[in-house]
């Protein structure tokens, strides 16, 4: 994490923030609040589940159950796939569920409004899909 001081997409200086395990929504205040409450209640409600997936047959990513579904709404061009490609749930192969998820820290780009883990996933996906 210390290697990166600036966003790989827009070059804005990165901040260090608390995060949940989800690379997509993990830096949102709402997600953090829900996970903190789940931790305090000893996961009696398990409001949000976190899992590791193999995305696009190449990359391991950690997502919550909500963001896993939300990925199908992302335009494929965002990852530099051809316009005809539709992102489907089948693009994410389930590997394992994360038991007792914890609050962590990651760097965050205030301009892109994304945490570094997600920014690096975007960057890697774009590298395999050059223009």
Tens digits of per-residue pLDDT, 59-78? 999 999 999 988 888 888 88
Tens digits of per-residue pLDDT, 2-54? 689 999 999 999 999 999 999 999 999 999 999 999 888 887 766 789 999 99
Say if 55 falls within a structural domain.
yes
Say if 9 falls within a structural domain.
no
Check residue 82 and give its pLDDT: 86
Candidates 86, 85, 51, 44; CA nearest to 66 is 51
Specify the number of domains making up the chain: 1
Domain around 46: 16-128
Kindly state the tokens that stand for 54: 């193999």
Instruction: Say which DSSP state 25 is in.
Output: T
Say if 54 falls within a structural domain.
yes
Say if 2 falls within a structural domain.
no
**DSSP per position, 26-91:** TT-HHHHHHHHHHHHTTTSS--S-EEEEEETTTEEEEEEHHHHHHGGGS-GGGGT--TT----GGG
Say if 1 falls within a structural domain.
no
Say if 38 falls within a structural domain.
yes
Tens digits of per-residue pLDDT, 76-102? 888 888 888 888 889 999 999 998 899
**Collapsed DSSP state (helix, strand, coil) of residue 125:** helix
């Amino acid at each position: 994490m210390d290697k990166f001081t600036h966003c790989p997409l827009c070059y804005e200086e990165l901040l260090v923030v608390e995060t949940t395990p989800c690379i997509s929504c993990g830096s949102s205040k709402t997600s953090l609040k829900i996970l903190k409450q789940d931790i305090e209640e000893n996961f009696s409600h398990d409001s949000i589940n976190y899992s590791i997936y193999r995305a696009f047959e190449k990359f391991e990513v950690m997502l919550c159950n909500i963001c896993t579904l939300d990925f199908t709404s992302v335009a494929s061009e965002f990852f530099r796939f051809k316009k005809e490609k539709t992102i489907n749930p089948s693009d994410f192969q389930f590997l394992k569920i994360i038991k007792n998820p914890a609050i962590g820290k990651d760097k965050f780009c205030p301009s892109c409004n994304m945490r570094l883990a997600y920014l690096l996933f975007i960057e890697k996906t774009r590298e395999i899909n050059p223009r």
